[in-house]
Amino acid sequence: MKKVYLDNAATTPQDPEVVEAMLPYFKEHFGNPSSIHAFGQKAKEGIDKARKIIAKKIKANPDEIIFTSGGTEANNLALKGIAHTQKAKGNHIITSQIEHHSVLNTARQLEKEGFKVTYLKVDKEGLVDPKELEKAITKETILVSVMAANNEIGTIEPTRELAKVARSHKIYFHTDAVQAFCKIPFDVGWGIDLASFSAHKIHGPKGIGALYIKRGTKIQPRQVGGHQEFEKRAGTENVPAIVGFGKAVEIYNVDELRKIAELRDKLIEGVINKIPKVKLNGPKEKRLPNIANFSFLGVEGEALLMELDSKGIACSTGSACAAPTLEPSHVLQAIGITAIVAHSSLRMSLGKENSEEDIDYVLEILPQAVKNLRKISPF
């Protein structure tokens, strides 16, 4: 059976070159980077190189890159680390309603500790308005955290403008750049104090990410122990994963993004032309090149996902049925989509492995799958 993977926003296949680069660090370069001997120093070289590559990509200094176990840990460290350090200055944090759960649930935990959190509304395309941020700022505000691009609908936020607002009030600005990283221009010089990244969304390994922390930013570590990661994150480094992360960034080919965007547009056009009663969720213009999110009215998303899976097509849904909480996607609800339409949503996120034939295959299978499920549906 043909297999088409359209869930690259969940994770991506590892590039063979990445795997190749990692292998020696499992074998001959197994040393502990904190060790002074040659074995340790060889491992340290691998980490240093990766750190430089990642720093260069976002126009930061290498000592501003802190490796973490992934995007979730980076978001936890950013929010809790700043909140706990700045507590004396104020207790107000601003974020948005469409953040990833690793930001939202961290914010909720901070609320339990006594911090006040404002969750900025977004418009129907998922955009945060810098003017709304300006209005939400109080004398107590210590941190603003708004994602660079959304993982469900692909909205690209006005990061530069939002950072500018925060900076004008001397408030720390953090952005979860996990989905945006490598896919859209990103420069910490925009006034960004902290930014979270993950390797496995860009063909790197799972279990590794990074937090950019601007020089001079005081942050309370979440994990204490040894002196690793400039005393901001203790624990022996995951050397092979860090090396793989660096390699993934090094070889990321931005030219492929144009091809991906073309395929995504072909997909969107095909779906809209071939299937009645379909809605494209999210922005038309300010969208990541790889994400398309649809609602097929009258069809529940998880059922459609399963139907497509049985034909070798992998994607994801914002339906409550697919969530352990049985709540429809908070992102789709925040952009004003009703619960029932959110239940009908399907996210297709493309990658560099996808071809024209893949999209043709999806456009052949999907209309029939929707038709079959509509036959069962009361609507």
Partner 1 sequence: MYTKKVIQLFKHPHNVGKIKNPDGLGKAGNPVCGDIMWIYIKIGKNKKGEETIKDIRFSTFGCAAAIATSSMVTDLAKGKTISEAKKITRKDVADELGGLPPVKFHCSNLAVDALHKAIQNYEKKKHK
Note the residues at the interface with partner 1 (CB under 8 A).
298-300, 302-303, 306, 310, 319-322, 324, 326, 328, 338-340, 343, 375-379
192 vs 278, beta carbon nearer partner 1: 278
48 vs 302, beta carbon nearer partner 1: 302
Residue 47 contacts residue 242 (beta carbons within 8 Å): yes
Distance between CA atoms of 152 and 287, rounded to whole angstroms? 11
Tell the residue number behind the tokens 């692909």, with chain if given: 154
DSSP character for 179?
T
Minimum distance of partner 1 from residue 65's CB (angstroms): 38
Question: And the tokens for 80?
Answer: 């809790």
281 vs 319, beta carbon nearer partner 1: 319
Q: For 97, phi and psi rounded to 5 degrees?
A: -75, -15
Residue 5 contacts residue 14 (beta carbons within 8 Å): no
Strands 92-96 and 65-68: unpaired
19 vs 306, beta carbon nearer partner 1: 306
Minimum distance of partner 1 from residue 344's CB (angstroms): 8
Tell the residue number behind the tokens 């549906």, with chain if given: 377
Q: For 149, phi and psi rounded to 5 degrees?
A: -155, 145
215 vs 379, beta carbon nearer partner 1: 379
Identify the bridge partners of residue 69 per DSSP, sorted by sequence position.
none
Helix (H) or strand (E) holding 298, with range, is none
* 182 assigned to active site: no
Minimum distance of partner 1 from residue 312's CB (angstroms): 14
Distance of CA 129 to CAs 69, 123, 278, 288, 372, Å?
31, 8, 28, 18, 41
Helices (H), 295-355: 301-309, 330-334, 339-343
166 vs 334, beta carbon nearer partner 1: 334
Minimum distance of partner 1 from residue 281's CB (angstroms): 17
Distance between CA atoms of 351 and 365, rounded to whole angstroms? 19
Give all strands (DSSP E) within 102-192, no chain letters. 116-120, 141-145, 172-176
Minimum distance of partner 1 from residue 321's CB (angstroms): 4
Minimum distance of partner 1 from residue 304's CB (angstroms): 9
207 vs 298, beta carbon nearer partner 1: 298
DSSP character for 338?
-
Taking the CA atoms of the chain, what radius of gyration do you get in angstroms?
21
User: Helix or strand or coil: residue 340?
Assistant: helix
**Catalytic option among 257, 321, 339, 363:** 321
Minimum distance of partner 1 from residue 241's CB (angstroms): 28
| DSSP per-residue letters across 310-350 | TTTEE-B---GGGSTT----HHHHHTT--HHHHHTEEEEE-
Residues with catalytic annotation?
Answer: 321
